[in-house]
Amino acid sequence: MGKAIRILGIDPGLRHTGWGVIACEGQRISFIASGRVNTATSGAMAERLCALSNELDVLLKEQSPDEAAVEETFVNTNPRSALKLGQARGICLLAPARAGVPVAEYAANQIKKSVVGAGHADKTQVAAMVARLLPGSRAESADAADALAIALCHAFHRGSPTARIAS
């Protein structure tokens, strides 16, 4: 077997950004680590985004992923919330790219369908399937479980036309 590929999944958020790292070696997928980056709930937007960027930079150095995957932003009914999420998502795309890590993007429905088998699965179903697919995983939060699901989706689709590399 060749070298294991480390995949970082990122579930973007301004207040809470989930992350999860898995390793793929052939058909074998294993859990490495997961967690959540928390930023201040108040303060200047630039400072909050800078804190998110700094935390992701540290995470990238610690985990040394070969590839990354980020969830695409869904349409939000509140334009202000959608804009804030979009800004945080931009940081989540930028950090790995700046570190030289290729980044793929996946729609929420594609992630859920890939991991659970249903595109409209709820967070409980996603977390349960992540725990089943990654024995020993310890996703401490729904954000971390979602990030592991994003990493799993990328593991299942990497190299296929559905893996859209961010550009």
Our count of domains for the chain comes to: 1
Quick: pLDDT tens for 76-100: 678 888 888 899 999 999 999 999 9
**What is the domain range of residue 157?**
5-165
**Residue 167: band (very low, low, confident or very high) from pLDDT cuts 50, 70, 90:** very low
The encoded tokens of residue 92 equal 């989540």
Among the options 55, 71, 105, 146, which is catalytic?
71
> Annotated catalytic, 11?
yes
Among the options 11, 55, 105, 146, which is catalytic?
11
Beta bridge partners of 55: none
> Annotated catalytic, 71?
yes
> Which CATH number fits the domain that encloses residue 61?
3.30.420.10
What integer is the mean pLDDT of 141-161?
A: 90
pTM: 0.92
Question: What average pLDDT is seen over the chain?
Answer: 90
Instruction: Please state, in angstroms and as integers, the Cα–Cα distance from residue 86 to each residue in 30, 43, 71, 122, 160, following that order.
Output: 30, 18, 11, 22, 26
Instruction: Please state, in angstroms and as integers, the Cα–Cα distance from residue 150 to each residue in 2, 41, 43, 78, 140, following that order.
Output: 23, 25, 29, 24, 16
- For residue 122, the model assigns a pLDDT of 87
Quick: pLDDT tens for 24-44: 998 899 999 999 999 998 889
Q: How would you write 37-65 as a 3-class SS string?
A: EECCCCCCHHHHHHHHHHHHHHHHHHHCC
Among the options 67, 105, 143, 146, which is catalytic?
143
